[in-house]
Chain A
Amino acid sequence: EAGVAQSPRYKIIEKRQSVAFWCNPISGHATLYWYQQILGQGPKLLIQFQNNGVVDDSQLPKDRFSAERLKGVDSTLKIQPAKLEDSAVYLCASSLDGMSGNTIYFGEGSWLTVV
């Protein structure tokens, strides 16, 4: 079974530029998550989708971050304009239906460095 796919794996941009990350969840998984993991910290949930609807985006900095999940499958996370403090690993994850009994599977992450 294919896992959660993310791209690009690594990205270096200058502050005030924009960047987009793509995620393809495990086939059949209705729930998709984007996490931000700053070096030395645990992951923090940015946004959770159930199919193509947003369940929780309370921790998403909406002035610069946006995410969409068209057709309830792939998802894109965009940052515009980027700040130095956005340097982090962006982890995409998916689960069967978002209920607590279902395992959340993580991708390998997209590493962002803002200079």
Chain B
Amino acid sequence: AQSVTQPDIHITVSEGASLELRCNYSYGATPYLFWYVQSPGQGLQLLLKYFSGDTLVQGIKGFEAEFKRSQSSFNLRKPSVHWSDAAEYFCAVGANPPHAGKSTFGDGTTLTVKP
């Protein structure tokens, strides 16, 4: 069965500092991997996704993630954090289509940005 672990429940960074959110997954085949962001009271918004090809994936809002098969990781990074990035971030691993919606989500990492 597929699973996702986000080891950090809460991370605090200063505005302008770099950010890395960790994600480890377990999946039997080539995974479909996603990062979503959820602002308070809002639904989830897709930041980026990985299906195949280049292991460094660029997303929206200046985020990127790197797929490392040997480490079963898909960490999210941003070189310089803005106050508006404060939110909850979810990593997810998806099943093969047509069950792509049956993604397994991690329990999320809450990001706080200090001025």
Residues of A within 8 A of B (CB): 4, 31, 33, 40-45, 48, 50, 55-56, 91, 93, 95, 98-109
Contacts and interface: CB of A to CB of B under 8 A. Distances in A.
30 contacts: A31-B101, A33-B101, A40-B107, A41-B108, A42-B90, A42-B107, A42-B108, A43-B90, A43-B105, A44-B105, A45-B103, A48-B99, A48-B101, A50-B98, A55-B98, A56-B101, A93-B43, A93-B44, A95-B101, A99-B97, A100-B32, A100-B97, A100-B100, A101-B51, A103-B46, A104-B103, A107-B43, A108-B42, A109-B42, A109-B43
Contacts of B68: none
B96 interface: yes
Contacts of A50: 98
A42 B98 contact: no
**Chain B interface, DSSP helix/strand/loop, else mixed:** loop
Contacts, number: 72
A41 B38 CA distance: 12
A103 B46 CA distance: 7
Interface residues of B, number: 27
A91 B106 CA distance: 16
B41 interface: yes
